[in-house]
């Protein structure tokens, strides 16, 4: 999205043509099977079965202050540390995997999600 906005701000014809390709890629991702829709659906199903009011979520966050501080600290350390160059794909994969793992921890702490409480049929 950054590159799309940047190309329209600079009004460079070549970048605008490239942005059309990027916008088409985003359209294809959203129109076909995009995993974000599955995640949003799972979250709504979880909230139908559990208490997801903002007051409850803030209470959950207040109960896990040290774990949340640790997860946020890890995200900041990973993103502010020496990031790999654009050609080091495995380095980027490892760094972003750790970032997403810590964001998942924040989500679990916020919603007080315990996988042991889920009873699959």
Q: What is the pLDDT of residues 9-33, one digit of tens each?
A: 666 677 677 777 778 877 877 777 6
Domain count, the chain: 1
Provide the token pair at 14: 């070549």
Rounded CA separation 120/5 (Å)? 44
Query: Is residue 36 a part of any domain in this protein?
Result: no
Query: Is residue 5 a part of any domain in this protein?
Result: no
Query: Is residue 28 a part of any domain in this protein?
Result: no
Query: What three-state secondary structure class fits 33?
Result: coil
With CA atoms as reference, report the closest residue to 118 among 46, 68, 70: 46
Query: Is residue 17 a part of any domain in this protein?
Result: no
pLDDT in tens, 45-80: 888 888 888 899 899 889 999 999 999 999 999 888
Query: Is residue 79 a part of any domain in this protein?
Result: yes
Other beta carbons within 10 angstroms of residue 70's beta carbon come to 13
Query: Is residue 14 a part of any domain in this protein?
Result: no
Q: Pick from 16-20, 102-106, 117-121 the range whose average pLDDT is largest.
A: 102-106
Domain that holds residue 98: 52-116
Query: Is residue 22 a part of any domain in this protein?
Result: no
pTM above threshold 0.85: no
102 falls in which pLDDT band (50, 70, 90)? Answer: very high
Query: What is the pLDDT at residue 31?
Result: 74
């Amino acid at each position: 999205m950054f590159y799309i906005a940047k190309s329209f701000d600079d009004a460079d014809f070549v970048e605008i043509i490239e942005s059309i390709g990027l916008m088409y890629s985003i359209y294809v991702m959203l129109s076909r099977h995009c995993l974000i829709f599955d995640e949003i659906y799972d979250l709504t199903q979880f909230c139908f079965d559990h208490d997801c009011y903002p007051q409850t979520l803030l209470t959950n966050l207040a109960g896990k202050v040290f774990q949340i501080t640790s997860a946020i600290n890890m995200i900041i350390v990973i993103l502010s540390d020496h990031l790999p160059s654009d050609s080091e794909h495995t380095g980027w994969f490892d760094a972003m995997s750790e970032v997403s793992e810590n964001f998942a921890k924040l989500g679990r702490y916020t919603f007080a999600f315990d996988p042991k409480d889920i009873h699959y049929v």
